[in-house]
Amino acid sequence: MTELMFSCLLRKKPITNGKRYSLLLDIHMEGVRYKEYLKLHLYAQPKDKMERAYNKQIMRKAEAMRKERVKALKEAMIVDKPKKRDILFLEYFTEQMMKRQTPATNKSWESALGTLLQIQWVHDILLIHFGYEELTKVREYLLNEALTLKGNPRPISKNTASSYFSKVKVTIKEAFLEGIIPTDLAKRVPAIKEEEVFKDYLNIHELRALAKTPMEHTDIRNACLFCALTGLRVSNLKRLQWKHVITNLNGHTYIQFEQVKRKNIQQNPLNQEAIELLGERKLPEDKVFPNLSYSSWNNMRIKQWVLRAGITKDITFHSFRHTYASNLYQSTGDVYLTQRLLGHKSISNTLRYTKHSLEQGHEAMEKFPSILK
């Protein structure tokens, strides 16, 4: 067991043109400086007895917070594995990647690591030396300099930068919880806010037109239409087996499966059309869509199929999940039912799919009171 040396001092920082002080903890550990603002303020020049009394009360509170922080640091700074003191940031990031990877997140973590490897100074920095400035520099790099790793290099999107930076923050948070670094830097540096991206989906009329349009790759056709009727992710479609298709005593058929992304058990009811798309039942361990794969080539086949149906929207495999969500919400108006059937943990994820459609907008405008008559 190795106890790391540190200091924790209470300091004042002038704010509001020097009229007040903001109180903060100045923490030094292993040559790295961390600042934690206490969200407490003092009058710089108290004018009367009341303001002086207020300052004394705030200072007592700040000192109590400092002592509590020192106590927590002493407990947290005892590292069970001495090697943790010497671990590189990228080594620790890779550890977190291996711990948290799932089939649904493999590519995202690996791409984030690949992008971090493009930052030369990150290669040799120890985790305990990865402070506020370093975290901020990584954030700025992802926003302003990071390039795609495949094809012709071009700036990564803001949403990609947001995804990569969230993984960096998860790594730093874990290092804090393990007691390797003394403060939760992830709290101090803001996340990269995602931009709202418009995603095309098919309305009911377009979906019917597509279903009537021939498609030589039956597995792809049936999987797309099945997804539009169930909302399954492609990762779950690829793993769907006949043992997951269940008919209960009431004659109702549903699919019961483990979400690849969240690892929870999900149940989705099937209507008659969805059942017909499954075809003839096979052995329990057989895959329902055995020849299905997610690739740019198959997305191209889908785009060609959509164009043959007379639809000019940019439709990919994932668009059919969006199609299900949007049409389900528009037909029921129930955001919580939509959330449950999509398997979302957070309602905020579901709300992305509940924007009013253009068709609903036209219907609303037809009902708008006349102003020219």
How far is Cα 349 from Cα 233, in angstroms, rounded to an integer?
14
Whether 83-188 and 204-362 share one fold: the answer is no
How far is Cα 116 from Cα 138, in angstroms, rounded to an integer?
8
Mean residue pLDDT across the chain: 85
pLDDT of 76: 61
- The pLDDT tens digits of the residues spanning 125-147 come to 999 888 888 999 999 999 999 99
CB 189 within 8 A of CB 132: yes
The DSSP H or E segment spanning 65 is: helix 49-76
- Of the candidate CATH numbers 1.10.3720.10, 3.80.10.10, 1.10.443.10, 1.20.120.80, the domain formed by 204-362 belongs to 1.10.443.10
Cα distances (angstroms) measured from residue 24 to each of 27, 37, 41, 72, 180: 9, 4, 10, 16, 21
DSSP string of 1-13, one letter each residue: -EEPPEEEEEEEE
How far is Cα 358 from Cα 347, in angstroms, rounded to an integer?
23
- The pLDDT tens digits of the residues spanning 273-283 come to 999 999 899 99
CB 343 within 8 A of CB 336: no
CB 220 within 8 A of CB 302: yes
Place of tokens 């799932």: 102
pLDDT of 365: 59
* Maximal CA-CA distance, the chain: 86
CB 204 within 8 A of CB 327: yes
- The pLDDT tens digits of the residues spanning 239-267 come to 899 999 999 888 899 999 887 666 678 88
- Domain boundaries in the chain? 2-79, 83-188, 204-362
pLDDT of 142: 96
The CATH architecture one would assign to domain 83-188 is Orthogonal Bundle (1.10)
pLDDT of 350: 82
How far is Cα 133 from Cα 131, in angstroms, rounded to an integer?
6
Helix crossing, 335-342 with 319-332: angle to 10°? Answer: 150
- The pLDDT tens digits of the residues spanning 67-106 come to 988 887 776 665 544 556 689 999 999 999 988 876 666 7
CB 333 within 8 A of CB 354: no
CB 4 within 8 A of CB 29: yes
- The pLDDT tens digits of the residues spanning 152-183 come to 889 999 999 999 999 999 999 998 888 788 77
Residue 1 confidence class, pLDDT cut points 50, 70, 90: very low
Section 212-235 average pLDDT:
91
pLDDT of 136: 93
pLDDT of 332: 85
CB 79 within 8 A of CB 4: yes
- Residue 210: closest CA among 306, 289, 278, 280: 306
Section 302-307 average pLDDT:
94
pLDDT exceeds 90 at position 346: no
Section 325-336 average pLDDT:
86
- The pLDDT tens digits of the residues spanning 11-23 come to 999 998 889 999 9
